[in-house]
A and B are shown apart, each in its own frame.
Chain A
């Protein structure tokens, strides 16, 4: 018996090729493990007094009654409990919009009362399009507009980071829209800042073109971002799309947050972004909160997305 094959490779060659292929597979798996491990963002020391820590929650949709989540109030309460169980007290909690589903006064009252139970220094919000269904955000501003300019936008500094909260939902057609007044606000707001100041921008609708066909973009965001090009680090945090998504364009990194209410399809899955009803027991894994940390002197924010416990 011979191991030679006159039409092809010998048995020895076959074994050698198999060995190299196996080695490539083993090294690929090992390399994947190493990279995944590196991707696990290190925790910011809980007792570091200079560290900035805040939490983003989004799209609670209080008042929603569909099959995708028949208890959105309970899910939002779970999210609040999860924030309060963190091993540190966040400097602030930002809700990036769609606090309510139909922007009724009762829904605003309920969400405001629930968020008053958050153990944090400040509770901050930006409106979603569901927060201005029939009044362009008038009721939203009654409940959450104190200290804001124009349609509800504002900015502040904390521990070396400059924060900007934008409103791109109250005069939208299909895409999000900031408008001339708000663009001028952004331009003036950052004009006096040094270029090494980390910038964090909050909005409801993404400031990048995540999926314009479904309205997941802001038509005049390029203008706003042009004022931020000179900064070393710009982080944009948004809601609206009910799923985690990230994109980097030059110095700007965009992070879409998930929801505490119900999932939406991935971009392009189906004709429209309608609520997705998951099989029993799987809803919690699609919902969550986001922890964000920053230690002075660094440029990048540490972002951890947590499933709803």
Chain B
């Protein structure tokens, strides 16, 4: 990927991650902090997302990209569980609370699209490159 384009993608991904963090922080401040286990999980997601978003603006380290993808996957997994079998006894319906849940989903899918796909591709290229070098 061309460097300027990769930089733009990384900045957009950082913005989306920060957006997801903001929504989780907002929900945490507006009451979710009282929910056992879910409250601390929202706090961790929010502070982790802000932290990784800031660092992504500085570096494209694979560690940061993996952390960003992990945070997005964690939030999406929590959303899915809370709408199906429940998460630590916590359940919610559909896209409540609105509009936070829908916006958060959008941000997290964007992070996955912008970071997970290139991450997998880079990893695949690295493995192939090593095999070629070893064979040559």
Which residues of A are in contact with B by a Cβ distance under 8 Å?
16-17, 20-21, 23-32, 34-36, 38-39, 209, 211, 243-250, 253, 255, 266-269, 305
Known A-B contacts A35-B43, A255-B31; A23 and B89 likewise in contact (beta carbons under 8 Å): no
Using a CB–CB cutoff of 8 Å, the interface residues on chain B facing chain A are 25, 27-36, 43-44, 46-48, 50-52, 54-55, 59, 61-64, 67, 86, 88-93, 96-98
A31-B48, A36-B43, A209-B91 known, 17 other contacts, Cβ within 8 Å: A16-B61, A20-B55, A20-B61, A21-B63, A28-B48, A28-B51, A31-B46, A31-B50, A32-B43, A35-B43, A38-B29, A247-B31, A247-B92, A247-B97, A248-B32, A268-B86, A269-B89
Does A245 lie within 8 Å of B97, measured CB to CB?
no
CB distance from B132 to the nearest CB of A (A): 14
Q: Are B47 and A248 in contact (CB under 8 A)?
A: no
Contact of B48 among A24, A36, A243, A269 (CB under 8 A): A24
Q: Is the CB of B97 within 8 A of A250?
A: yes
A305 to B33, CA, bound (A): 12
The residue of chain B having its C-beta at the shortest distance from the C-beta of A32 within the complex is B47
Q: Which of A30, A32, A267 contacts B44 (CB 8 A)?
A: A32
Q: Is the CB of A244 within 8 A of B97?
A: no
- CB < 8 Å neighbour of A24 from B28, B29, B52: B52
Known: A17-B62, A211-B89, A267-B89. A253 touches B34 (CB 8 A): no
Interchain nearest-CB distance for A175 vs B (Å): 15
Q: Known contacts A17-B62, A266-B36; is A248 also within 8 Å of B54 by CB?
A: no
Query: Considering only CB atoms, which chain B residue lies closest to A35 in the complex?
Result: B25
Pairwise interchain contact B31-A24, C-beta atoms closer than 8 A: no
Q: A24-B52, A31-B51 are in contact. Are A266 and B30 (CB under 8 A)?
A: no
Q: List, sorted by A's number, 13 A–B pairs whose CB atoms are closer than 8 Å.
A: A20-B63, A24-B48, A24-B51, A27-B55, A28-B52, A31-B48, A35-B29, A35-B43, A247-B35, A248-B97, A250-B98, A266-B89, A267-B91
- Cα–Cα distance between A29 and B50 once the two chains are bound (Å): 11
CA distance A34 to B21 in the complex (A): 13
- List chain B residues, Cβ under 8 A from A253: 30-31
A-side contacts of B36, CB under 8 Å: 243, 266
Q: Which of B30, B51, B61 contacts A248 (CB 8 A)?
A: B30
Inter-subunit contact B27/A28 (CB<8 Å): no
CA distance A201 to B70 in the complex (A): 40
Contacts of A26 in B (CB 8 A): 51
Q: How far is the CB of B25 from chain A (nearest CB, A)?
A: 5
User: Bound state CA distance, A257 and B136, in angstroms?
Assistant: 70
A255 to B96, CA, bound (A): 16
